[in-house]
Structure 1
Amino acid sequence: MLHLRVISPAEDTDEAVARLRSHPGTAHLVVHRGAAVEPAGDLVEADIAREAADEVLELLCGLGLDHDGAITLEALDTALSDAAERAEEAAPGEGANAVVWEELLSRTGEESQLNVTFLAFLTIACLLASVGVITDSPVTIVGAMVVGPEFGPLAALAVGFVLRRGDLMRRAGFALGVGFPVAMVVTALVTLLSVAVGLLDVGEFRGGARPQVDFVYEVGWYSLIVALLAGAAGMLAMTSAKSAALVGVFISVTTVPAAGYAAVAAVTGDWTRSWHSVAQLAVNLAGIVVAASVVLAVRRRGPRGRVGPGSAG
């Protein structure tokens, strides 16, 4: 179930309530007259089945409440009510399979922003990857995969492509296009510092075997296959109630590790492994976006695969 909160101008409240009552996926309808201060109006609350969310939002956006008032949604972990059970049974489909398109647009739009937090996480992840490369530590490499925030913009690219949202694609592309180079430059500078203070022996790195982390730069068909599977799983997780699966996506692709390896190898003059790492990064980024786009396009063609009028902005 999802909790719906609507701030409605007083003159639109009765129609909004009527539309909510007309939908079988709605339960626990409450109206607080004059409770809203900014924007001024009435506060309307209800619990709705996840699979009914798109239709309910479309009904409310049809009144212009997304412009003249406000509409918010939040997930409910527990709802003990016969009315809630009836609403979930009456709404067609399964809640775990339902795509709430407005939620997806909002989430990917937020995660595609280039900001200090995104740059910090990506840089820290690349630094962790560089430590894993230097010490031949797969555990540290996995830690870098989990910390990396790059899946948000990659998912935004897929959403923007499928929904024809050029603004979303531009923001996501800018975040990735600036974020990875910045993180790799910082990683290269820290690697140079490590060489200067004696923490890293260039000759030993270039000549030494690193069997535990060689997979990071070894590009092959399985690199693409894993990226495609990760992209598909990631988009399924983002468009359903199975968001916990995203952790598995983070630790299955070598985007951040490849970026970190490329920076370290470049500093040590090992250009072969550096370029192979860059190729690995490109293959993983492309594979994730392609698979995520395909999954999203298939889900959009389903019976509930549409975006309501409120998503245009």
Structure 2
Amino acid sequence: MLHLRLITPSDSTDEVVRLIEKTVGTTHLVVLAGAARNPAGDVVMCDVAREAGDELIGALRALDLDKTGSIAVDNIDLSLSRRADKAEEEAPGEGADAVLWEHLADATHEESTLSVTYIAFLTLATMIAACGVVLDNAILIVGAMAVGPEFGPLAGLSTAIVQRHPRLALRSLTALIVGFAVAMAVTVGFSLLMDALGQFSLEQLDDDRPNTGFVYAPDAFSFVVAVLAGIAGTLSLTSAKSGALVGVAISVTTVPAAANAAVALSYGDTTQTVGSTNQLLLNLLGIVLAGTLTLFFQKWLWSRQRSRFSNL
């Protein structure tokens, strides 16, 4: 269930209430006349089944309530109510399959913003991965994958393509390109420093690396794993199963490939630099492609379920 807290201008409250009352899957409607001060107006609250949430939020935005008032949405972790149970039964489809497009767009917008924190996390992840590839340490590679924040802009790009949102697409691309460029540039300097301190060496990079050699040797499985990870990551976002993102993060070879490319570049090893760059691009492409197709499929599937419900 979702909890909606609305601030409505007094002359729009009746229309908002009628909209909520006719939306299948809503319950626990509360109207507090004149309770809002900034902006001034009435406070309207209700609970709605997740599978009916996107339709209701879209209808409220069509009334320009996001401009004249406020729309706040919270997840309800526990609701002990027969009315809530009935609302979920009456709503079309299953809540786990529903996509809250407004929530998804808002979440990916925040995650795909180029910020100091985003660049710091990506740079630190790349530097950790650099230690991992030189030492051929799988634990460091996994740790670097978990720290890397790059799935946010990738999900944002997929969402922007499906929603036809060019500004979000540009924001996501900027975060990806600038973020990886800065992270790799800093890692080149880090590699040179570690070499000067005697911690990194060309011999370690060129040595047989059974645990990390895959990062500069892309193959068909690289793309397959990226596609599967992209599907899993997108489903975790749309179904609010955020815990699955950790598994997605440690299954793709984006950050390790960027790190290996940076270290190889610091030693002038063009073979590993090109191979690692190809691995990076292949993974990015696979994730975006899978995420976009997954969102298109979810959108199509949900529209069919809603049309089937409306025909009953």
TM-score (norm 1): 0.94
Alignment check: 8 A CA contact 1:153 1:176 kept: yes
Superposed CA RMSD in Å reads 1.5
Which residue number in structure 2 is paired with residue 285 of structure 1? 284
Structure 1 residues 305 and 104: CA distance shift in structure 2, 3 A? farther
Instruction: Report the counterpart of residue 308 of structure 2 in structure 1.
Output: none
Letter in 2 for 1:263: A
Q: Distance in 2 between matches of 1:251 and 1:206?
A: 22
Residue 97 of structure 1 pairs with residue 84 of structure 2: no
1:226 corresponds to = 225
Residues of 1 paired with 2:3 and 2:116: CA distance? 31
Q: Compute the displacement of 1:242 (Å).
A: 2.5
Q: Hey, what's the Cα distance between the residues in 2 that align with 1:167 and 1:222?
A: 33
Alpha-carbon displacement from aligned partner over 1:168-187 (angstroms, at most 9, x marks no partner):
11110111110001000011
Match of 1:295, as an amino acid? T
CA distance in 1, matches of 2:205, 2:291: 37
Q: Could you list the runs of 5+ residues in structure 2 that have no partner in the other structure? A: 306-312
Partner SS, residue 293 of structure 2: helix
* Residue aligning to 1:161: 161
- In 2, the alpha carbon distance for the partners of 1:75 and 1:217 equals 42
Contact 1:27 1:46 in 2 (8 A): yes
CA contact (8 A) 1:299 1:305 kept: no
List, as ranges, runs of 4+ consecutive aligned residues in structure 1 with deviation greater than 6 Å: none
Number of equivalenced pairs: 305
Query: Corresponding residue for 1:115?
Result: 115
Q: Which residue of 2 aligns with 1:264?
A: 263
SS for the counterpart of 1:272 is helix
Distance 1:271 1:41, change over 3 A: same
How far apart, CA to CA, are the structure 1 residues paired with 2:69 and 2:223?
46
**TM-score scaled to structure 2, two decimals?**
0.94
**Inter-partner Cα distance in structure 2 for 1:117 and 1:145:** 17
CA–CA separation in structure 2 for the residues paired with 1:56 and 1:73: 11
Offset at residue 305 of structure 1 (A) = 7.9
Partners of 1:182 and 1:241 in 2: CA distance: 31
Residue equivalent to 2:210: 211
Deviation at 1:57, TM superposition (A): 1.1
Q: Which stretches in structure 1 are left out of the alignment for 5+ residues?
A: 307-313
Alignment of 1:80-95 (within 5 A): 80-95=80-95
Corresponding letter in the other structure for 2:195: V
C-alpha separation between the residues in 2 aligned to 1:144 and 1:207? 21
**Deviation for aligned residue 1:303:** 3.7
Distance 2:15 2:142 in 1: 53
Paired-residue identity, %: 51
Give CA-to-partner distance per residue, 1:173-207, whole Å, 9 cap, x none: 111110001000011111111111222223x2244
Q: CA deviation at 1:133?
A: 0.9
SS in 1 for 2:33: strand
**C-alpha distance in structure 1 between counterparts of 2:206 and 2:240, whole Å:** 48
Give, as a single letter, the amino acid of the residue that structure 1 aligns with 2:225.
V
d(CA) in 1 for partners of 2:155, 2:214: 24
Aligned to 2:10: 10
Q: CA deviation at 1:68?
A: 0.3
SS of residue in 2 equivalent to 1:171: helix
Deviations 1:225-263 (A, max 9, x none): 011111111111211233322221111100011001111
CA-CA distance at 1:9 after TM superposition: 0.6
